[in-house]
Amino acid sequence: MKTTAETRQAFLDFFAAKGHEVVASSSLVPADDPTLLFTNAGMNQFKDVFLGAEKRDNPRAASSQKCVRAGGKHNDLDQVGYTARHHTFFEMLGNFSFGDYFKMEAIEYAWELLTVDYGLDKDKLWVTVYETDDEAFDIWTNDIGLADERVIRIGDKPGKARFESDNFWAMGDTGPCGPCSEIFYDHGPKYEGGLPGTEDEDGGRYVEIWNLVFMQFDRSADGTLQPLPKPCVDTGMGLERLSAVLQGVHSNYDTDLFQALIQKAAELTGADDKRSNSLNVIADHIRACAFLIADGILPSNEGRGYVLRRIIRRAIRHGFKLGQKNPFFAGMTSALVEQMGAAYPALAKQEAHIAATLEAEERRFAKTLDKGMGLLQAVMGSTSAEGGKIDGKTAFTLYDTYGFPLDLTEDIARENGLGVDFEGFETEMEKQRERGRTAGQFQHKDQISAEAVKTLPATRFIGYETLSTDDAVVAGILVDGQLADQLEENESAVLILDKTPFYAESGGQVGDTGVITTVDGRFIVEDTIKLGGTFFAHIGQVVQGTIKPGQQVSARVDAERRQSVVIHHSATHL
């Protein structure tokens, strides 16, 4: 049995022997391609070559490309861990011809590698071609020797435009495009599912393992196709699917690489059931998280960083579900490096950085996870199971106060037979945006202009969970209601942070006092007030150094005073 690492190396060695240059995987952050959130295919790094904007010395290349599909149109995060082949991170094996060989060689290479080097049973392989691609059909039947009935012609999708087919690939509405030929493996009659092109093709019996794309046309704006002067080949084969086939298992999670990660996840969480979907989730997610961090992405509240944060927090929640309420996820890093560090040296080199980043994020989420889960459990307990939904206000509170990404709440609701009121969530989100837009109408003694807060986020209050934080950010500095670029020593001002543990004056309880510090600055908070129900304004003075917008700060409430105030406030009510 070939291990996953041996399968990867055998692919690269095979094509190196066929004159291909073995090219290292590119970063998960696409270079100079704003259309992509993450690298999601082997051809991404060769896009300019296919478009003719870049030339290569060797017209043949092969690679094992790390890919992430999570977020945007590829967002099927909810299925990861629950099916045999859904992943956030995967490796795409590919061989490429830039105007060199074409259909004949591409098909011959694929057949030789699968049936000779990998030793797959020819009778378990089926092939599809585009319905009008007689050239590819003839190569498969006449040159390779497959029976006509084992080569299935696939046409355009019913009711869709011309060439909108599983067997016709296009880079976009215009530009390089062409038919493709897919190779399927038959896992046997014990699994449900029909052949490609049939009504039950989505079952688990026949699984696509390799896609051979033949770029032979240039599509113009009016939809006409013109032959390319130098046709190209772009192929892609998922390493995880191939490894499952070669190791005689149906699920990718049963392969050697995933089993090693699942074993480690079980050790760290104390899980006894090694078939738990939650262990699959953790094993999958450590790969995406570690490789994203190694490529320079850090958890944040926007863009790629927020996708990373969502994946990390989903893994943490599944550990919580297994009964592990202490930090564990960073401990998965060493097992991943052991499995993949040889193929990706940068992973091993950055092991300490990856583990530290994961641990920091885990500790951050741990502060609110337990209380957030308590709120969610209470709401679910009072929600009808039949067509019931988590209300939008609760979903927004979980997102805004407890750090639950919306899809995490959806994930938990689904496990309990419930949905989420997405419209209600968006309504609450819009209310928050509107509060920011109407800042000019504030009636508080400390006025703030509407212009000053157009770019400021609403403050997230974390003071019920903690009285201090080390990773808040200065969202804005206000002097006389206007935004300022910097605060100098002895200057008085209002600081607005992206999140704060400082309680703002409300309902008769006075606001918190305390200190906010940067690397070289110290700001004494004399009072905290709420502006328009949206912004927590820390009123005070710089007593040391300088403070600028965008700086990371430590914010610490005067805990003794808070406790005294709470006691006094409660006594007043009594």
Q: Mark whether 57 and 188 lie in a shared domain.
A: yes
Q: Mark whether 259 and 247 lie in a shared domain.
A: no
Question: Among candidates 214, 210, 196, 233, which has minimal Cα distance to 120?
Answer: 210
Q: Kindly report the CATH number assigned to the domain that includes residue 515.
A: 2.40.30.130
Residue 381 has pLDDT above 80, yes or no: yes
Which pLDDT score is estimated for 508?
A: 60
Q: Give the predicted TM-score (pTM) of the model.
A: 0.74
Question: Among candidates 204, 197, 205, which has minimal Cα distance to 156?
Answer: 197
Q: What percent of the chain has pLDDT over 70?
A: 91
Q: Mark whether 460 and 430 lie in a shared domain.
A: no
Q: Mark whether 263 and 366 lie in a shared domain.
A: yes
Q: How confident is the model at residue 535 (pLDDT cuts 50, 70, 90)?
A: confident
Residue 439 has pLDDT above 50, yes or no: no
pLDDT tens, 385-420?
A: 556 889 999 999 888 888 888 989 998 998 888 999
Is residue 445 assigned to a domain?
no
Is residue 201 assigned to a domain?
yes
* CA count, 13 A, side-chain hemisphere, 182: 21
Least confident range from 67-76, 144-153, 197-206: namely 67-76
Number of domains comprising the chain: 4
Q: How confident is the model at residue 442 (pLDDT cuts 50, 70, 90)?
A: very low
- The residue among 381 and 548 whose pLDDT is bigger is 548
Q: What angle do CA 153, 207, 243 make, to 5 degrees?
A: 135
State both tokens at 407: 């899809």
Mean pLDDT (whole number) for 508-513: 78
Report whether 447 contacts 482 (CB < 8 A): no
* Nearest-angstrom CA–CA distance, 265 and 274: 9
Residue 286 has pLDDT above 90, yes or no: yes
Taken in order 75, 80, 83, 87, the sign of the CA dihedral is positive
Residue 322 has pLDDT above 80, yes or no: yes
Q: How confident is the model at residue 565 (pLDDT cuts 50, 70, 90)?
A: low
Question: Among candidates 388, 452, 434, which has minimal Cα distance to 414?
Answer: 388
Which pLDDT score is estimated for 560?
A: 78
Q: Mark whether 216 and 85 lie in a shared domain.
A: yes
Residue 313 has pLDDT above 50, yes or no: yes
| Helix, strand, coil share (%) of the chain residues, nearest 5 | 40, 25, 35
Residue 571 has pLDDT above 50, yes or no: no
Is residue 306 assigned to a domain?
yes
Q: Mark whether 165 and 308 lie in a shared domain.
A: no
Least confident range from 204-213, 271-280, 342-351, 377-386: namely 377-386
* Nearest-angstrom CA–CA distance, 347 and 336: 9
Is residue 113 assigned to a domain?
yes
Which of 360, 376, 392 delimits the end of a domain? 376
For residue 165, what are the contacts with CB-CB under 8 A and spacing of at least 6? Answer: 130, 131, 154, 155, 156, 157
Which pLDDT score is estimated for 63?
A: 95
Which pLDDT score is estimated for 82?
A: 80
Q: Kindly report the CATH number assigned to the domain that includes residue 197.
A: 3.30.930.10
Q: Mark whether 100 and 181 lie in a shared domain.
A: yes
Q: Mark whether 432 and 288 lie in a shared domain.
A: no
Q: Mark whether 123 and 97 lie in a shared domain.
A: yes
Which pLDDT score is estimated for 441?
A: 38
- The residue among 431 and 147 whose pLDDT is bigger is 147
Is residue 507 assigned to a domain?
yes
Q: Which structural domain range is residue 11 located in?
A: 4-253
State both tokens at 446: 């400390």
Residue 106 has pLDDT above 90, yes or no: yes
Longest dimension (CA), the chain: 92
Least confident range from 1-15, 24-38, 42-56, 340-354: namely 42-56
Average pLDDT, the chain: 87
Which of 440, 458, 482 delimits the end of a domain? 440
Q: Mark whether 430 and 464 lie in a shared domain.
A: no
* Nearest-angstrom CA–CA distance, 9 and 27: 19
Residue in the block written with tokens 């039950």: 200
Mean pLDDT (whole number) for 82-89: 89
Q: Mark whether 156 and 259 lie in a shared domain.
A: no
Q: Mark whether 272 and 217 lie in a shared domain.
A: no
Which pLDDT score is estimated for 387?
A: 64
* Nearest-angstrom CA–CA distance, 126 and 207: 10
